[in-house]
Chains A and B, each alone.
Chain A
Amino acid sequence: MNADNKLLSVNNVVKYFDISGGFLDQLRFKKGRISLEKTTVKAVNDVSFFVKKSEVLGVVGESGCGKSTIARVIMGLYPPNSGKIYYDGKRIDNLTHKQMLPFRKKMQMIFQDPYASLNPRKTVQQTLEEPLRFHHPESSNKEIKDKIEQVMEQVGVDPAWIKRYPHEFSGGQRQRISIARGLILDPEFIVADEPVSALDVSIQAQILNLLMKAGRERNLTYLFITHDLSVVRHISTRVAVMYLGTLCELGTAEVLFANPRHPYTKSLLSAIPVVGEKRAKHIKLKGEVPTPVELPTGCVFHGRCVYADERCRTEIPALQTLDSGTSVACHAVAENRTT
């Protein structure tokens, strides 16, 4: 498992959420009979990928495509309905809470909204020392204090502000503190879920630079989730594009952005507004994203795809690796119908 440098592997992960509600909400009246029916949101459907050591894997997609769900499944915040997750060769999706502890130290998460992800009643010091005291109960107060100061300096927050509360900081500063919390246990792997989406452009650049610097200095591996394609293009080694709970294309950032193959990726990339360029006609998709409650048969994208044919409507396409190294899940690409 480790021979090819995989730090994390996600194999055929499926995650459904039951939203049917209580007993009465599940009652249906059909053909003169009363029956119970469950409603499930099919958030992630059979997704497989791996993350190599010290790379940045960007995951992009529109709202509701399952990118945050997959991140939470990896972190063990949601149990997957089926599928396996391996970290450094060891299966982690079926571990007990106690068995999971050593992995929690190595895997950390940074969330989108720095207003919601920091406890408003805890000072910066309390926020940062809690993980240390929990995972390293043997360390002395002095060690903890030194560690906190070192990490705060690294993320660019003055250690003199250690006794302050989150509300005394701006959005950008708060995000630095959340990053400090993510770094304080010296993790190997960080899942960053939209870490810059809530920030203004000039602050966004500061935080992206900080994440890249921390990545270089600490040899971190990132799973970077965002809907912002220019951010992903800038920082990712490889990029995974998701649509309606499935992975439709995965390749190195360079190849994927220069030569997108999946019809959805093409349309998505053509929609990015670029500063200083007049609108190049973007590829319009027909229709709207279907709900993940009733997934389309076959390829989930077929209803909006110009290349869709009978096979697309019935058979789910598998991810296939092309000569360029990019993997694409599309019958039309496999049959060379897209050119």
Chain B
Amino acid sequence: MSHLLEIHDLEVKFALRYGDITAINGINFTLEKGEKLGLVGESGAGKSVTGFSIINLISKPGYISRGKIFFEGNEISSYPDEKMRTIRGNAISMIFQDPMMTLNPVFTVGFQMIETIRAHREISKDAAGKIALEKLKRVHIPSPEKRLDQYPHELSGGMRQRIIIAISLLTNPAIIIADEPTTALDVTIQAEIMDLLQELCESDNMALILITHDLGVVSQVTEKIAVMYAGKIIEYGSTDQVVTHPVHPYTEGLIKSIPGTMIKHGEDLVQIPGMMPTLTNIPPGCAFNPRCYLKNKICTEKTPNLKDVGQGVLVACHMKEQRI
């Protein structure tokens, strides 16, 4: 129980009219203090649901149907809502994709920051204001004093995302879960925000779970990577190893399909045929089998589990585990 965060056999279902669908299908991973983990996958792979379920933000009709989540050795997945609030936004903060949706447009930045601190600590407004100002300085916002009195619409997208990061820092969290934090932003701003997140994690020894579809961002920021496909982790390991020597055919295809990495100018990109199955219609056996070039009989019969293939990389693939 020495891990900062441990996810054990997590399964999340959504109860729909025509029956339950499984969004997360038995995933396991751990996170250490100060570790940066990237959760990668395409839309619908279950990466955001994983992030949400850690802080128990799965809303109905979704529910955690199996598995446990431990934070600092305590099983937080069984906490009642009231107790969960001492963790959520306090010890574990979350940053969302769209900074305009996250900030309340009718309150000033300062008001929202002070409110957050006072929800978790019993301190005066003045003292909270000081903390807010200090955090705004830490995210390198120009003229921070002025920002406290501004409304979200007066700020640019990059600036708003910095404010969100400052808010998530207010309670000195141990883990930040960032769900596509830069997808809505331009590349130059994205680079600045990623630099900032990296810098903050390193100076405060904070752990980061970075949820994104962008392998480039993940490979620059994180140490560990978990690739998700149809609700399962299909490859897990050190980021450097996985992005340079992907083992699972899906990871391999994903990396080769990015222009400019392994393919010459103007040549056809490697493409994975077909598309990810919808969660209502996951094929039996390995969920990736209809799109896989290594597909064999066993792939349609048995679901592969994560196995160690060396170099600390875990892969869920029948064909690859046989080869090694």
Contact = CB atoms under 8 A, between A and B. Distances in A.
Interface of A: 62-63, 170, 172, 200-206, 208-209, 212-213, 227, 229-231, 233-235, 253-254, 267-268, 270-279, 282, 284-285, 288-289
Given A201-B254, A270-B191, 7 more contacts: A200-B43, A202-B275, A205-B257, A235-B266, A273-B194, A276-B261, A284-B192
Contacts of A205: 257-259, 269-272
Contact of B187 (A200, A203, A212, A268): A268
A202 B271 contact: yes
Interface in B249-274: 253-255, 257-261, 263, 265-266, 268-273
Nearest to B198: A279
Given A201-B257, A271-B190, A275-B215, A208 B269 contact: yes
The 5 closest A-B pairs by CB, nearest first: A273-B216, A234-B259, A205-B257, A271-B191, A62-B186
B258 A285 contact: no
26 contacts: A62-B188, A200-B43, A201-B213, A202-B271, A203-B42, A204-B257, A205-B257, A205-B258, A205-B259, A206-B271, A208-B259, A212-B266, A230-B216, A230-B259, A230-B261, A234-B265, A268-B187, A271-B188, A271-B190, A274-B220, A275-B258, A276-B219, A276-B244, A278-B219, A284-B192, A289-B156
A129 to B, nearest CB: 27
Contacts of A268: 187-188
Residue among A201, A206, A234 facing the most chain B CB atoms (10 A cut-off)? A201
A19 to B, nearest CB: 16
B195 interface: yes
B144 to A, nearest CB: 15
Interface of B: 42-43, 156, 158-159, 186-188, 190-192, 194-195, 198, 213-217, 219-221, 240, 243-244, 253-255, 257-261, 263, 265-266, 268-273, 275-276
Given A202-B253, A204-B257, A274 B269 contact: no
Contacts of B258: 201, 205, 230, 275
Contacts of B195: 279, 282
A273 B214 contact: yes
Contacts of B194: 273, 279
A233 B259 contact: yes
Contacts of A270: 191
Contact of B265 (A253, A279, A282): A253
A267 B186 CA distance: 12
Contacts of B254: 201-202
A262 B190 CA distance: 20
Given A201-B213, A201-B254, A205-B257, A233 B265 contact: yes
Given A201-B213, A205-B272, A276-B219, A288 B156 contact: yes
Contacts of B240: 276
B268 A209 contact: yes
B257 A202 contact: yes
Contacts of A282: 188, 191, 195
B216 A234 contact: no
A206 B253 CA distance: 11
Contacts of B270: 205
Contacts of A230: 216, 258-261
B255 A275 contact: yes
Given A202-B253, A202-B254, A288-B158, A273 B217 contact: yes
